[in-house]
């Protein structure tokens, strides 16, 4: 019933890399080297006391007894430091059973969701309105899905001085058989990273896309005036009835450095470092640090090595770091329970006039996301540009009202608006348009638009 971003198989690579075959190893700087040798102890190495790898093999197999005198670097086989290379179809790879059929690519949504001015949102403050109103609502193609051969999440690895989720040296070899964008960023070579992103203009190929959801909307929380308790109940109702939500919170250095084994439920701390968005898949109650806490169960995008296999528990019911402020939900079928208001947009106007401005009529073009009854207010002529017009509206303005019935996603033209009686014609000015939309099911929404009405052409 819900439009859930479900995990499930990246396309498998056809070549497997057994541990003793040629291995691709990468260090923490992203550098790449091909090692054609088996992991073994160095036969010529000795420490200052003259002890070699054979001595450590006989006296400290595993290298846990003595201080590191160099044996852990030079006696890798003896010290059990040989890198493990997991095969793509092995249970050691947490993604080997993943199917991305219904998991949208962040590289599609983030690159194609626009701000009001048409520029790309990317990962710099994207929001539900931009994803839906400025992208999905009018999208004429399928949504791209994740996967190496479809549209992988390449935005996590921008070229920069830092990297996302860095690993210490030597750990990249365990990801050698992973698909490229499943690896941590510092295990991906620099030539595969970019700082140039743009919305794809081509359509998803077969098997790489799915239909645009029927709806994508905000689930109200504290930011919309609900109490914390009611916000929690609202989120829980949505999860129970329609599946996971998309939620954001302020990230603190306490969250980033939390010891998840010792404190399995994050309860706050530290100073804010930024913000982050995750999927909330459920809730529960458990112990952490000797205390019992209600928590949200969150699914993160930082890999299976993070927290509890990529999931974490986050304290619930106190709006910790703003997590109960608001959430997003998406629906794949038309049978969902619809509490969303109609969204109506202004799509331009046509005009009719006499050259002496003795008659000047405007016809507005309106499109709404669902069937709705509209009450439209058009203001008298406002002067001084948009900023001045907004100040005048705040003080109160007069104008005219008209009613209009619209069909979902159908451009509808209003009856004639007498612009001359509103002061337009001989001088250019601003018109404030207020649209109140009602779907007849208790869902209403208001939208405001300011348009510049030119003088009559003589």
Mean pLDDT across the stretch 226-255? 91
Phi, psi of 129 (to 5 degrees): -60, -40
- d(Cα 297, Cα 238) in Å, to the nearest integer? 15
369-427 confidence digits (pLDDT tens): 889 999 999 999 999 999 999 999 999 999 999 999 999 888 999 999 999 999 999 88
Q: Which of 276, 371, 443, 449 is catalytic?
A: 276
Q: Give the C-alpha distances (Å, rounded to integers) separating 194 from 100, 199, 291.
A: 23, 14, 45
Burial of 17 (0-12, 13-18, 19+ CB in 10 A): middle
Q: Which of 165, 300, 371, 443 is catalytic?
A: 300
43-67 confidence digits (pLDDT tens): 999 998 899 999 999 999 999 889 8
Q: Give the C-alpha distances (Å, rounded to integers) separating 388 from 200, 421, 430, 448.
A: 39, 21, 9, 15
Question: Parallel, antiparallel, or unpaired: how do β-strands 245-252 and 265-266 relate?
Answer: unpaired
DSSP secondary structure, 11-51, as one string: PPPS----TTS-EEEE-TTS-EEEE-S-----TT-B-TT--
The CATH code for residues 215-331 is: 3.90.70.10
Closest CA to 368 of 433, 447, 452, 451: 447
Per-domain residue ranges of the chain: 215-331, 344-453
The CATH code for residues 344-453 is: 2.60.40
Token couple for 343: 């969204």
Pick the range with the lowest mean pLDDT from 97-111, 138-152, 192-206, 341-355: 97-111
Q: Return contacts of 111-114, CB within 8 angstroms, 24+ apart.
A: 111/155, 111/197, 111/198, 111/199, 111/200, 112/139, 112/199, 112/200
Question: Parallel, antiparallel, or unpaired: how do β-strands 417-418 and 360-368 relate?
Answer: antiparallel
Domain pair 215-331 / 344-453, same fold:
no
9-27 confidence digits (pLDDT tens): 222 222 233 222 233 333 3
Is 96 a known active-site residue? no
Is 276 a known active-site residue? yes
SS3 (DSSP) at 407: coil
Most confident of 32-46, 157-171, 204-218: 204-218
Closest CA to 456 of 405, 394, 402, 381: 381
Provide the pLDDT for residue 428: 92
- d(Cα 93, Cα 35) in Å, to the nearest integer? 21
How many Å is the Cα radius of gyration of the chain?
A: 29
């Amino acid at each position: 019933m819900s439009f859930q971003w479900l995990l499930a198989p990246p396309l498998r690579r056809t070549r497997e890399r057994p541990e003793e075959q040629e291995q691709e190893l990468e260090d923490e700087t992203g550098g790449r080297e091909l090692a054609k040798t088996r992991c073994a102890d160095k036969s010529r190495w000795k420490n200052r006391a003259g002890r070699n790898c054979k001595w450590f093999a006989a006296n400290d197999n595993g290298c846990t007894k003595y201080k590191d005198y160099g044996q852990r670097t030079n006696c890798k086989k003896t010290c059990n430091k040989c890198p493990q290379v997991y095969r793509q179809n092995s249970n050691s790879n947490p993604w080997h059973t993943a199917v991305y059929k219904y998991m949208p690519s962040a590289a599609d949504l983030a690159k194609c969701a626009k701000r009001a001015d048409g520029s790309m949102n990317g990962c710099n403050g994207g929001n539900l309105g931009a994803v839906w109103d400025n992208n999905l609502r009018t999208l004429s193609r399928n949504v791209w899905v994740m996967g190496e051969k479809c549209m992988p999440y390449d935005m996590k690895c921008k070229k920069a001085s830092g990297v996302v989720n860095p690993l210490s040296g030597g750990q990249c070899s365990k990801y050698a058989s992973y698909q490229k964008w499943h690896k941590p960023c510092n295990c991906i070579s620099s030539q595969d990273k970019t700082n140039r992103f743009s919305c794809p203009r081509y359509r998803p190929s077969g098997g790489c896309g799915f239909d645009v959801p029927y709806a994508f909307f905000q689930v109200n929380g504290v930011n919309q005036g609900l109490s914390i308790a009611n916000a929690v109940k609202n989120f829980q109702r949505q999860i129970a009835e329609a599946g996971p939500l998309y939620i954001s919170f302020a990230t603190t250095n306490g969250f980033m450095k939390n010891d998840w084994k010792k404190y399995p439920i994050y309860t706050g701390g530290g100073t804010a470092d930024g913000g982050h968005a995750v999927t909330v898949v459920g809730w529960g109650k458990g112990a952490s640090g000797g205390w019992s806490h209600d928590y949200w169960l969150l699914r993160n995008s930082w890999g299976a090595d993070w927290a509890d296999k990529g999931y974490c528990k986050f304290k619930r019911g106190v709006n910790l770091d703003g997590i109960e402020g608001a959430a997003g939900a998406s629906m794949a079928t038309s049978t969902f329970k619809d509490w969303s208001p109609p969204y109506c947009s202004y799509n331009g106007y046509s005009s009719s006039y006499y050259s002496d401005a003795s008659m000047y009529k405007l016809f507005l073009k309106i499109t709404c996301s669902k069937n709705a009854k509209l009450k439209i207010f058009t203001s008298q002529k406002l002067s001084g540009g948009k900023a001045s017009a907004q100040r005048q509206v705040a003080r109160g303005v007069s104008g005219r009202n008209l009613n209009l019935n619209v069909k979902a996603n159908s451009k509808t033209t209003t009856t004639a608006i007498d612009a001359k009686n509103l002061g337009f014609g001989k001088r250019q000015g601003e018109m404030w348009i207020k649209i109140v939309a009602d779907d007849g099911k208790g869902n209403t929404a208001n939208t405001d638009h300011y348009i510049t009405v030119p003088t009559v052409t003589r």
